Amino acid sequence: MNIAGSVALVTGANRGIGRRFVDELLERGATKVYAAVRQPDQLAEGEFADARVEVLRLDLLDATSVTDAAARATDVTLLVNNAGISTGANLLGDGDLEGLRLELDTHFFGTLSVIRAFKPVLAANGGGAVVNILSALSWFSTEGANAYAVAKAAEWAMTNGVRLELAGQGTLVQGVHLGAADTRLMDGYDGPMLNPREVAVATLDGVEAGAIEVLVDEWARLVKSSLANDPSGFYAEALAARV
Q: Phi and psi of 214, rounded to 5°?
A: -125, 125
Ranking 3-7, 89-93, 156-160, 206-210 by mean pLDDT, the lowest is: 89-93
Cα(105)–Cα(84) distance, integer angstroms? 10
Distances (CA, A) of 217 to 10, 28, 52, 135, 198: 22, 22, 30, 11, 9
Long-range contact pairs involving 45-50 (C-beta distance under 8 Å, separation at least 24): 47/14, 48/22, 50/26
What's residue 46's pLDDT? 81
pLDDT tens track for 17-67 = 999 999 999 999 999 999 999 999 989 888 898 999 999 999 999 999 999
Distances (CA, A) of 199 to 145, 194, 216: 21, 8, 6
pLDDT tens track for 163-182 = 999 999 999 999 999 998 77
Between 95 and 133, residue with greater pLDDT: 133
Residue 188 has pLDDT above 80, yes or no: no
What's residue 189's pLDDT? 64
What's residue 1's pLDDT? 93
Q: Which among 173, 33, 168 is positioned nearest to 111, based on CA atoms? A: 173
At 187, the pLDDT band (50, 70, 90 cuts) reads low
At 183, the pLDDT band (50, 70, 90 cuts) reads low
Residue 243 has pLDDT above 70, yes or no: no
Q: Tell me the pTM.
A: 0.94
Between 190 and 100, residue with greater pLDDT: 100
Q: Phi and psi of 41, rounded to 5°?
A: -70, -15
What's residue 194's pLDDT? 84
Cα(182)–Cα(194) distance, integer angstroms? 6
Cα(148)–Cα(50) distance, integer angstroms? 34
What's residue 19's pLDDT? 95
What's residue 95's pLDDT? 78
- What is the residue-averaged pLDDT of the chain? 94
Cα(98)–Cα(96) distance, integer angstroms? 6
Residue 214 has pLDDT above 70, yes or no: yes
